[in-house]
Structure 1
Amino acid sequence: MDNHNQHSLSLQVNEDVQLKLLEERHSTAYYELTDRNRRYLREWMGWLDEERSVEQTCEYIAMRLQQYIQHQGFLLGIYYQQRLVGSIGLHALDWSKRKGEIGYWLDAGTQRQGVMTDACRALTTYAFDEYQLNKVEIHCGVGNLRSRRIPERLGYKLEGIVRQNEWLYDHYIDHAIYGMLAGEWDAEKTFR
Protein backbone atom coordinates (compact mmCIF):
# COMPACT_ATOMS: atom_id res chain seq x y z
CA MET A 1 0.00 0.00 0.00
CA ASP A 2 1.30 3.44 -0.76
CA ASN A 3 1.83 6.04 1.91
CA HIS A 4 0.19 9.15 0.65
CA ASN A 5 -0.85 12.48 1.95
CA GLN A 6 -3.73 14.63 0.87
CA HIS A 7 -3.52 16.11 -2.64
CA SER A 8 -0.48 14.16 -3.81
CA LEU A 9 -1.78 11.64 -6.33
CA SER A 10 -0.80 12.33 -9.93
CA LEU A 11 -0.08 9.83 -12.70
CA GLN A 12 1.57 10.72 -16.00
CA VAL A 13 -0.11 8.28 -18.39
CA ASN A 14 1.63 9.37 -21.60
CA GLU A 15 2.76 12.55 -23.32
CA ASP A 16 -0.83 13.85 -23.65
CA VAL A 17 -2.68 12.31 -20.69
CA GLN A 18 -2.27 12.96 -16.99
CA LEU A 19 -4.45 11.87 -14.06
CA LYS A 20 -4.60 14.23 -11.08
CA LEU A 21 -6.48 14.05 -7.80
CA LEU A 22 -9.54 16.31 -8.01
CA GLU A 23 -9.64 18.92 -5.26
CA GLU A 24 -12.26 21.46 -4.23
CA ARG A 25 -10.48 24.13 -6.31
CA HIS A 26 -11.40 22.10 -9.43
CA SER A 27 -15.13 22.21 -8.63
CA THR A 28 -16.12 24.89 -11.13
CA ALA A 29 -14.19 23.35 -14.04
CA TYR A 30 -15.48 19.85 -13.19
CA TYR A 31 -19.07 21.06 -12.86
CA GLU A 32 -18.89 22.94 -16.18
CA LEU A 33 -17.46 19.86 -17.92
CA THR A 34 -20.22 17.70 -16.44
CA ASP A 35 -22.88 20.22 -17.38
CA ARG A 36 -21.66 20.44 -21.01
CA ASN A 37 -21.89 16.63 -21.25
CA ARG A 38 -25.08 16.21 -19.22
CA ARG A 39 -27.37 15.08 -22.06
CA TYR A 40 -24.88 12.59 -23.43
CA LEU A 41 -23.91 11.25 -19.96
CA ARG A 42 -27.53 10.81 -18.90
CA GLU A 43 -27.88 7.72 -21.09
CA TRP A 44 -25.56 5.71 -18.79
CA MET A 45 -24.78 7.75 -15.65
CA GLY A 46 -27.31 7.77 -12.82
CA TRP A 47 -25.74 10.46 -10.62
CA LEU A 48 -26.32 13.57 -12.75
CA ASP A 49 -29.31 14.84 -10.77
CA GLU A 50 -27.10 14.91 -7.66
CA GLU A 51 -24.74 17.44 -9.27
CA ARG A 52 -26.82 20.43 -10.23
CA SER A 53 -24.51 23.20 -8.97
CA VAL A 54 -20.87 24.03 -8.37
CA GLU A 55 -21.59 23.72 -4.63
CA GLN A 56 -22.90 20.16 -4.99
CA THR A 57 -19.89 19.27 -7.13
CA CYS A 58 -17.60 20.75 -4.49
CA GLU A 59 -19.30 18.65 -1.78
CA TYR A 60 -18.89 15.53 -3.92
CA ILE A 61 -15.18 16.22 -4.52
CA ALA A 62 -14.68 16.91 -0.79
CA MET A 63 -16.34 13.56 0.03
CA ARG A 64 -14.09 11.75 -2.45
CA LEU A 65 -11.02 13.50 -0.96
CA GLN A 66 -12.06 12.18 2.46
CA GLN A 67 -12.22 8.70 0.95
CA TYR A 68 -8.69 9.19 -0.38
CA ILE A 69 -7.39 10.30 3.02
CA GLN A 70 -9.07 7.27 4.64
CA HIS A 71 -7.63 4.95 1.97
CA GLN A 72 -11.10 4.07 0.66
CA GLY A 73 -10.69 5.18 -2.95
CA PHE A 74 -10.19 8.36 -4.94
CA LEU A 75 -11.37 10.44 -7.88
CA LEU A 76 -8.89 11.67 -10.50
CA GLY A 77 -9.40 14.27 -13.16
CA ILE A 78 -8.36 13.15 -16.63
CA TYR A 79 -6.31 15.84 -18.33
CA TYR A 80 -5.73 15.60 -22.06
CA GLN A 81 -3.21 18.11 -23.41
CA GLN A 82 -3.52 20.05 -20.12
CA ARG A 83 -7.35 20.24 -20.37
CA LEU A 84 -9.79 18.57 -17.95
CA VAL A 85 -11.78 16.11 -20.08
CA GLY A 86 -13.31 13.62 -17.62
CA SER A 87 -12.72 11.60 -14.48
CA ILE A 88 -11.67 8.15 -13.42
CA GLY A 89 -11.70 6.72 -9.94
CA LEU A 90 -11.11 3.74 -7.76
CA HIS A 91 -14.08 3.01 -5.48
CA ALA A 92 -15.99 0.22 -3.72
CA LEU A 93 -12.75 -0.85 -2.07
CA ASP A 94 -13.08 -4.02 -0.04
CA TRP A 95 -9.80 -4.50 1.82
CA SER A 96 -10.84 -7.90 3.21
CA LYS A 97 -11.02 -9.16 -0.39
CA ARG A 98 -8.31 -6.79 -1.73
CA LYS A 99 -10.74 -5.73 -4.44
CA GLY A 100 -11.94 -2.45 -5.95
CA GLU A 101 -13.81 -1.00 -8.93
CA ILE A 102 -12.74 1.49 -11.56
CA GLY A 103 -15.38 3.93 -12.77
CA TYR A 104 -14.96 6.57 -15.46
CA TRP A 105 -16.47 9.02 -17.92
CA LEU A 106 -15.04 11.14 -20.71
CA ASP A 107 -16.06 14.30 -22.53
CA ALA A 108 -17.95 13.41 -25.72
CA GLY A 109 -15.53 15.40 -27.88
CA THR A 110 -12.45 13.61 -26.53
CA GLN A 111 -13.57 10.06 -27.24
CA ARG A 112 -12.07 7.67 -29.80
CA GLN A 113 -8.50 8.82 -29.16
CA GLY A 114 -7.47 6.10 -26.71
CA VAL A 115 -7.53 8.50 -23.75
CA MET A 116 -9.79 6.37 -21.55
CA THR A 117 -8.13 3.08 -22.47
CA ASP A 118 -4.75 4.55 -21.52
CA ALA A 119 -6.17 6.03 -18.31
CA CYS A 120 -7.74 2.68 -17.31
CA ARG A 121 -4.49 0.86 -18.10
CA ALA A 122 -2.56 3.25 -15.84
CA LEU A 123 -5.12 3.05 -13.03
CA THR A 124 -5.27 -0.74 -13.18
CA THR A 125 -1.48 -0.90 -12.86
CA TYR A 126 -1.62 1.60 -9.97
CA ALA A 127 -4.32 -0.43 -8.17
CA PHE A 128 -2.21 -3.59 -8.37
CA ASP A 129 1.22 -2.04 -7.73
CA GLU A 130 0.45 0.65 -5.15
CA TYR A 131 -2.72 -0.60 -3.45
CA GLN A 132 -1.70 -4.26 -3.75
CA LEU A 133 -5.21 -5.24 -4.80
CA ASN A 134 -5.84 -8.78 -5.99
CA LYS A 135 -8.80 -7.88 -8.21
CA VAL A 136 -10.08 -4.86 -10.09
CA GLU A 137 -13.57 -4.75 -11.58
CA ILE A 138 -15.19 -2.48 -14.15
CA HIS A 139 -19.01 -2.37 -14.30
CA CYS A 140 -20.65 -1.08 -17.49
CA GLY A 141 -24.21 -0.81 -18.70
CA VAL A 142 -24.76 -3.84 -20.97
CA GLY A 143 -25.75 -1.59 -23.88
CA ASN A 144 -22.89 0.88 -23.35
CA LEU A 145 -20.68 -0.71 -25.98
CA ARG A 146 -18.07 2.09 -26.06
CA SER A 147 -17.52 1.77 -22.34
CA ARG A 148 -17.42 -2.04 -22.53
CA ARG A 149 -14.72 -1.98 -25.21
CA ILE A 150 -12.27 -0.46 -22.71
CA PRO A 151 -12.01 -3.41 -20.28
CA GLU A 152 -12.23 -5.79 -23.25
CA ARG A 153 -9.28 -4.05 -24.94
CA LEU A 154 -7.31 -4.28 -21.69
CA GLY A 155 -7.87 -8.02 -21.35
CA TYR A 156 -10.41 -7.92 -18.51
CA LYS A 157 -12.64 -11.01 -18.42
CA LEU A 158 -16.42 -10.70 -18.68
CA GLU A 159 -17.51 -12.40 -15.46
CA GLY A 160 -21.23 -12.05 -15.90
CA ILE A 161 -24.28 -9.91 -16.37
CA VAL A 162 -26.10 -8.61 -13.30
CA ARG A 163 -29.72 -8.04 -14.22
CA GLN A 164 -31.44 -4.77 -13.31
CA ASN A 165 -28.38 -3.67 -11.35
CA GLU A 166 -28.96 0.09 -11.57
CA TRP A 167 -31.97 2.39 -11.59
CA LEU A 168 -31.35 4.94 -14.32
CA TYR A 169 -33.92 7.76 -13.84
CA ASP A 170 -36.95 5.85 -15.15
CA HIS A 171 -35.79 2.30 -15.86
CA TYR A 172 -33.41 -0.41 -14.71
CA ILE A 173 -30.31 -1.37 -16.65
CA ASP A 174 -28.26 -4.55 -16.56
CA HIS A 175 -24.53 -4.36 -15.86
CA ALA A 176 -21.71 -6.27 -17.51
CA ILE A 177 -19.10 -7.04 -14.83
CA TYR A 178 -15.50 -7.29 -15.98
CA GLY A 179 -12.70 -8.50 -13.72
CA MET A 180 -8.92 -8.52 -13.79
CA LEU A 181 -6.74 -10.41 -11.31
CA ALA A 182 -3.32 -9.17 -10.28
CA GLY A 183 -1.73 -12.41 -11.50
CA GLU A 184 -3.25 -11.95 -14.96
CA TRP A 185 -2.34 -8.29 -15.47
CA ASP A 186 0.28 -7.40 -18.03
CA ALA A 187 -0.08 -3.78 -19.07
CA GLU A 188 2.44 -4.23 -21.88
CA LYS A 189 0.33 -6.87 -23.63
CA THR A 190 -2.91 -4.86 -23.74
CA PHE A 191 -4.20 -3.41 -26.97
CA ARG A 192 -4.48 0.28 -27.76
Structure 2
Amino acid sequence: MFLHTIDEELALKLPELKDAEKVFELTDVSRKYLREWLPWVDGTTTIEDTKGFLEGTRKGFLEERSLTTLILYKGEIVGTAGFNELNRANDTAYIGYWLGEGYQGKGIMTRVVCALVDYAFTELDMNKVDIRAAEGNAKSRAIPERLGFTFEGRIRQAERLYGNYVDHMVYGILESEWNQTKA
Protein backbone atom coordinates (compact mmCIF):
# COMPACT_ATOMS: atom_id res chain seq x y z
CA MET A 1 0.00 0.00 0.00
CA PHE A 2 1.18 3.50 -0.84
CA LEU A 3 1.24 5.97 2.09
CA HIS A 4 3.22 9.20 1.89
CA THR A 5 3.41 11.35 5.03
CA ILE A 6 3.73 15.07 4.29
CA ASP A 7 3.72 16.55 7.79
CA GLU A 8 2.06 16.04 11.18
CA GLU A 9 -1.37 16.89 9.69
CA LEU A 10 -1.21 15.59 6.12
CA ALA A 11 -0.62 12.32 4.30
CA LEU A 12 -1.45 10.84 0.91
CA LYS A 13 -2.66 7.27 0.52
CA LEU A 14 -3.60 5.04 -2.34
CA PRO A 15 -7.39 4.60 -2.37
CA GLU A 16 -8.98 1.30 -1.40
CA LEU A 17 -12.53 0.19 -2.16
CA LYS A 18 -13.35 0.49 1.54
CA ASP A 19 -12.78 4.27 1.15
CA ALA A 20 -15.62 4.62 -1.37
CA GLU A 21 -18.29 5.61 1.14
CA LYS A 22 -16.18 8.40 2.68
CA VAL A 23 -15.09 9.72 -0.73
CA PHE A 24 -18.68 9.67 -1.98
CA GLU A 25 -19.93 11.48 1.15
CA LEU A 26 -17.28 14.16 0.72
CA THR A 27 -18.22 14.55 -2.94
CA ASP A 28 -21.90 14.69 -2.09
CA VAL A 29 -21.63 17.36 0.63
CA SER A 30 -19.35 19.45 -1.61
CA ARG A 31 -21.32 18.78 -4.81
CA LYS A 32 -22.42 22.34 -5.58
CA TYR A 33 -18.96 23.72 -4.81
CA LEU A 34 -17.08 21.08 -6.82
CA ARG A 35 -19.44 21.20 -9.77
CA GLU A 36 -18.27 24.67 -10.81
CA TRP A 37 -14.93 23.32 -12.08
CA LEU A 38 -15.19 19.53 -12.23
CA PRO A 39 -17.16 17.91 -15.06
CA TRP A 40 -17.47 14.48 -13.41
CA VAL A 41 -19.57 15.62 -10.43
CA ASP A 42 -22.99 15.14 -12.05
CA GLY A 43 -21.99 11.63 -13.10
CA THR A 44 -21.11 10.68 -9.53
CA THR A 45 -24.50 9.96 -7.99
CA THR A 46 -23.94 6.70 -6.10
CA ILE A 47 -21.29 4.94 -4.06
CA GLU A 48 -20.97 2.53 -7.01
CA ASP A 49 -19.84 5.47 -9.19
CA THR A 50 -17.15 6.28 -6.63
CA LYS A 51 -16.10 2.61 -6.44
CA GLY A 52 -15.65 2.66 -10.23
CA PHE A 53 -13.45 5.74 -9.91
CA LEU A 54 -11.36 4.15 -7.16
CA GLU A 55 -10.93 0.93 -9.16
CA GLY A 56 -9.73 3.03 -12.09
CA THR A 57 -7.19 4.83 -9.93
CA ARG A 58 -5.80 1.54 -8.65
CA LYS A 59 -5.54 0.20 -12.20
CA GLY A 60 -3.68 3.34 -13.32
CA PHE A 61 -1.29 2.94 -10.39
CA LEU A 62 -0.62 -0.74 -11.12
CA GLU A 63 0.02 0.06 -14.79
CA GLU A 64 2.30 2.98 -13.77
CA ARG A 65 0.22 5.41 -15.87
CA SER A 66 -1.05 7.53 -12.98
CA LEU A 67 -0.99 7.94 -9.22
CA THR A 68 -4.17 9.28 -7.65
CA THR A 69 -4.19 9.49 -3.88
CA LEU A 70 -6.61 10.39 -1.13
CA ILE A 71 -5.64 13.41 0.95
CA LEU A 72 -5.73 12.64 4.67
CA TYR A 73 -5.96 15.72 6.91
CA LYS A 74 -5.72 14.81 10.59
CA GLY A 75 -6.61 11.25 9.54
CA GLU A 76 -9.76 12.24 7.64
CA ILE A 77 -10.27 11.99 3.85
CA VAL A 78 -10.63 15.57 2.58
CA GLY A 79 -10.00 15.28 -1.18
CA THR A 80 -7.87 13.70 -3.86
CA ALA A 81 -4.61 14.70 -5.49
CA GLY A 82 -2.03 13.06 -7.64
CA PHE A 83 -0.74 12.51 -11.10
CA ASN A 84 -3.59 12.18 -13.59
CA GLU A 85 -1.00 11.07 -16.09
CA LEU A 86 2.62 9.97 -15.89
CA ASN A 87 4.11 10.47 -19.34
CA ARG A 88 7.25 8.32 -19.25
CA ALA A 89 8.17 9.07 -22.86
CA ASN A 90 8.60 12.76 -21.98
CA ASP A 91 9.25 12.41 -18.22
CA THR A 92 6.31 14.71 -17.42
CA ALA A 93 3.83 14.32 -14.59
CA TYR A 94 0.41 16.02 -14.80
CA ILE A 95 -1.04 16.97 -11.41
CA GLY A 96 -4.75 17.14 -10.67
CA TYR A 97 -6.55 17.78 -7.38
CA TRP A 98 -9.75 18.65 -5.56
CA LEU A 99 -10.55 19.43 -1.97
CA GLY A 100 -13.84 19.27 -0.09
CA GLU A 101 -15.42 22.66 0.45
CA GLY A 102 -15.08 22.61 4.23
CA TYR A 103 -11.30 22.20 4.05
CA GLN A 104 -10.45 25.28 1.99
CA GLY A 105 -8.19 28.01 3.37
CA LYS A 106 -5.96 25.81 5.53
CA GLY A 107 -3.01 25.56 3.13
CA ILE A 108 -3.76 21.87 2.61
CA MET A 109 -3.55 21.79 -1.17
CA THR A 110 -0.43 23.92 -1.42
CA ARG A 111 1.39 21.52 0.92
CA VAL A 112 0.01 18.51 -0.96
CA VAL A 113 1.08 19.82 -4.36
CA CYS A 114 4.52 20.73 -3.01
CA ALA A 115 4.91 17.15 -1.76
CA LEU A 116 3.72 15.75 -5.11
CA VAL A 117 6.24 17.87 -7.01
CA ASP A 118 9.03 16.66 -4.72
CA TYR A 119 7.86 13.07 -5.21
CA ALA A 120 7.74 13.46 -9.00
CA PHE A 121 11.34 14.63 -9.14
CA THR A 122 12.92 12.50 -6.41
CA GLU A 123 11.00 9.22 -6.63
CA LEU A 124 9.59 9.12 -10.17
CA ASP A 125 12.61 10.74 -11.86
CA MET A 126 10.47 13.16 -13.85
CA ASN A 127 11.87 16.19 -15.66
CA LYS A 128 8.74 18.34 -15.58
CA VAL A 129 5.51 18.75 -13.64
CA ASP A 130 2.48 20.29 -15.33
CA ILE A 131 -0.68 21.75 -13.78
CA ARG A 132 -3.68 22.90 -15.80
CA ALA A 133 -6.63 24.83 -14.43
CA ALA A 134 -9.61 26.62 -15.89
CA GLU A 135 -8.98 30.30 -16.44
CA GLY A 136 -11.60 31.39 -13.92
CA ASN A 137 -10.57 28.92 -11.22
CA ALA A 138 -8.54 31.37 -9.15
CA LYS A 139 -8.04 29.02 -6.19
CA SER A 140 -6.64 26.24 -8.34
CA ARG A 141 -4.44 28.60 -10.35
CA ALA A 142 -3.03 30.19 -7.18
CA ILE A 143 -1.31 26.94 -6.18
CA PRO A 144 1.20 26.64 -9.06
CA GLU A 145 1.69 30.42 -8.98
CA ARG A 146 2.47 30.27 -5.24
CA LEU A 147 4.92 27.39 -5.77
CA GLY A 148 6.96 29.14 -8.47
CA PHE A 149 5.63 27.38 -11.58
CA THR A 150 5.98 29.20 -14.89
CA PHE A 151 2.82 30.21 -16.72
CA GLU A 152 3.29 28.51 -20.10
CA GLY A 153 0.15 29.47 -21.94
CA ARG A 154 -3.52 29.06 -22.61
CA ILE A 155 -5.33 26.18 -24.27
CA ARG A 156 -8.46 27.69 -25.75
CA GLN A 157 -11.77 25.96 -25.07
CA ALA A 158 -9.90 23.02 -23.55
CA GLU A 159 -12.79 21.66 -21.55
CA ARG A 160 -16.54 21.62 -21.71
CA LEU A 161 -18.12 22.29 -18.34
CA TYR A 162 -21.87 21.85 -18.29
CA GLY A 163 -22.48 23.33 -21.73
CA ASN A 164 -19.79 26.01 -21.64
CA TYR A 165 -16.24 25.82 -22.90
CA VAL A 166 -13.44 27.07 -20.65
CA ASP A 167 -9.85 27.87 -21.45
CA HIS A 168 -7.12 26.08 -19.50
CA MET A 169 -4.12 27.93 -18.12
CA VAL A 170 -1.00 25.77 -18.26
CA TYR A 171 1.72 25.95 -15.61
CA GLY A 172 4.95 23.99 -15.56
CA ILE A 173 8.08 23.58 -13.53
CA LEU A 174 11.28 21.74 -14.46
CA GLU A 175 13.29 19.71 -12.00
CA SER A 176 16.21 22.17 -12.28
CA GLU A 177 13.88 25.09 -11.49
CA TRP A 178 12.30 23.28 -8.53
CA ASN A 179 15.73 22.51 -7.08
CA GLN A 180 16.66 26.21 -7.37
CA THR A 181 13.49 27.33 -5.54
CA LYS A 182 14.30 24.92 -2.70
CA ALA A 183 17.93 26.08 -2.38
| TM-score normalised over the length of structure 1 | 0.91
Aligned to 1:119: 112
Distance 1:187 1:146, change over 3 A: farther
2:42 is the counterpart of 1:60: no
8 A contact 1:125–1:187 mirrored in 2: no
Deviates more, 1:139-148 or 1:43-52: 43-52
Q: State the 4+ residue runs in structure 1 displaced beyond 3 angstroms.
A: 186-190
The alpha-carbon deviation at position 186 of structure 1 amounts to 3.3
Aligned to 2:174: 181
Count of aligned pairs? 183
The alpha-carbon deviation at position 63 of structure 1 amounts to 1.0
Paired residue for 2:36, among 28, 43, 61? Answer: 43
Aligned to 1:105: 98
2:80 is the counterpart of 1:87: yes
Q: Distance in 1 between matches of 2:120 and 2:136?
A: 27
RMSD (Å) for aligned C-alpha atoms: 1.4
Distance 1:107 1:81, change over 3 A: same
The alpha-carbon deviation at position 188 of structure 1 amounts to 6.6
Q: Distance in 2 between matches of 1:46 and 1:129?
A: 32
The alpha-carbon deviation at position 23 of structure 1 amounts to 1.2
Q: Distance in 2 between matches of 1:47 and 1:187?
A: 37
Paired residue for 2:6, among 5, 13, 18? Answer: 13
The alpha-carbon deviation at position 50 of structure 1 amounts to 2.5
| TM-score normalised over the length of structure 2 | 0.96
2:122 is the counterpart of 1:156: no
Q: Give the letter aligned to residue 13 of structure 1.
A: I
Aligned to 2:124, what secondary structure does the other structure show? Answer: coil
Gap runs ≥5 in structure 2: none
